[in-house]
Structure 1
Amino acid sequence: MESKDYLKDISEIKDLMNKSSRFISLSGLSGILAGVYALIGAAIAYWLVVEYSHGTLTLDGKIFRLVMLDLFLVAVLSIITGIFLTTKKAKKHGEKIWDATSQRLVLNFLIPLVVGGLYILIILNQQKYGQTGALMLMFYGLALINASKYSIGDIRYLGFIQIILGLICAWFPGYGFWLWVLGFGFMHIIYGTWMHYKYDVKNK
């Protein structure tokens, strides 16, 4: 009996240590919606390029600016949705939304993402945009892996998948758009669904 109580105490201590060092209220549903936003944004971008630019996108054109605005709106919607659903989940479980752990999570996520974003803007300004899709996938993957130390460790696997897709995209730049759709769209939906049922539905 004492042995069982001892093991139970160890398990509870382990859970408390894990909760104190990791932010575990990330919402799987936000991943699904981010994927949906990405697919809608990709469909709009594809329609703009094919309909008005005849498949050719130039940096100094109006369509390029509209595509960039489209991508920006996808990112903003994903961030707002993620914050809203994660905050809702954290309150439900009595977890603080903004503490030392969540601050480390955001910082470790943003460092690779901001560096990657700035680098992409630099090469776009130099009219070298053939590898943009590959760079977006790879830097996003690195951001997920870097942030996984302070959150649900499973997100690092999504990061690995994004990096692999980014490398494939770099090797076959002609398929960059479709690999971007696969990485940011379908993989978010698939992974978000899995995370939702693993961490949200089962823990109700």
Structure 2
Amino acid sequence: MSKKDYLKDINHIKDMMDRSSRFISLSGISGVFAGCYAIVGALFAYFYLFPKPGEQLYIHSWNFSWLIIVAVAVMLLSIVTAIWLTSRKAKKHNAKIWDITTYRLVINFLIPLVTGGIYILIKLNSQHYGLTASLMLIFYGLALVNASKYTVGNIKYLGYVEIITGLICAMFPGYGFWFWLIGFGLFHIIYGSIMFAEEKKG
């Protein structure tokens, strides 16, 4: 065996070991769906639930309750869609979807996300709404980056973009809705489309 073939085999084994310790990349099309869900939910909230000029939003108002319901619905739809499409992708590649790597990915994703969610609820309970969109984007981005080491895809880059968007949003709190729409809607669609195109090439 030549030195070139030996190095090739070593790299192949290294690649297999690396992939075995990482979760199969999420389906790109699931990102597109997540972005669409976010846009539809945001537009519904904007036209039907947001307070009119001169009015204020209170945590115990029916508007706020419905905002929470819409946000949870968007999140659940995104999660269910991601699990379904990623499961199909895993079966196609004869890969396991639920194993120790998946467990680590979920845990690393949830730690920043749940921490951020609790902190945001604490702030909302104190009637502090100004940085809600910014905090959601930042903690979501941190969750993606934290979980990215357990996935094959380049999801960390989406995380970086979400964090940067959240920080910019913090500078313009009066435009939180639009930054939220861009971060969770537009950027998901762009990222998902890029990933889907790469999957087609592969």
Q: State whether TM-score is above 0.5.
A: yes
Q: RMSD between aligned alpha carbons?
A: 1.4
Q: Distance in 1 between matches of 2:65 and 2:183?
A: 23
| Structure 2 equivalent of residue 149 of structure 1 | 149
Show structure 1 runs of 5+ residues with no match.
none
User: Any conservation in 2 of the 1:48–1:67 contact (CA below 8 Å)?
Assistant: no
| Structure 2 equivalent of residue 172 of structure 1 | 172
The reply on whether 1:105 has 2:105 as its aligned counterpart is yes
| Among 51, 54, 57, the residue aligned to 2:52 | 54
- Report SS of the residue matched to 1:127: coil
- Report SS of the residue matched to 1:149: helix
- Report SS of the residue matched to 1:163: helix
Q: In structure 1, give the amino acid aligned to 2:12.
A: E
Query: 53-62 or 66-75: which moved more?
Result: 53-62
Deviation track 1:7-59 (CA, whole Å, cap 9, x = no partner) reads 33123212211211111231111111000000000010001135xx3144332
**Between the two proteins, what is the percent identity of the paired residues?**
58
Q: Distance in 1 between matches of 2:193 and 2:7?
A: 33
Q: Distance in 2 between matches of 1:87 and 1:100?
A: 16
The reply on whether 1:201 has 2:187 as its aligned counterpart is no
| Structure 1 equivalent of residue 125 of structure 2 | 125
Aligned residue-pair number? 200
Q: In structure 2, give the amino acid aligned to 1:202.
A: K
Q: Distance in 2 between matches of 1:93 and 1:108?
A: 24
Show structure 2 runs of 5+ residues with no match.
none
Normalization by structure 1: what TM-score?
A: 0.93
Q: CA deviation at 1:153?
A: 5.1
Q: Distance in 1 between matches of 2:110 and 2:60?
A: 29
Q: CA deviation at 1:147?
A: 0.4
Q: Distance in 1 between matches of 2:37 and 2:17?
A: 35
The reply on whether 1:91 has 2:78 as its aligned counterpart is no
| Structure 1 equivalent of residue 79 of structure 2 | 79
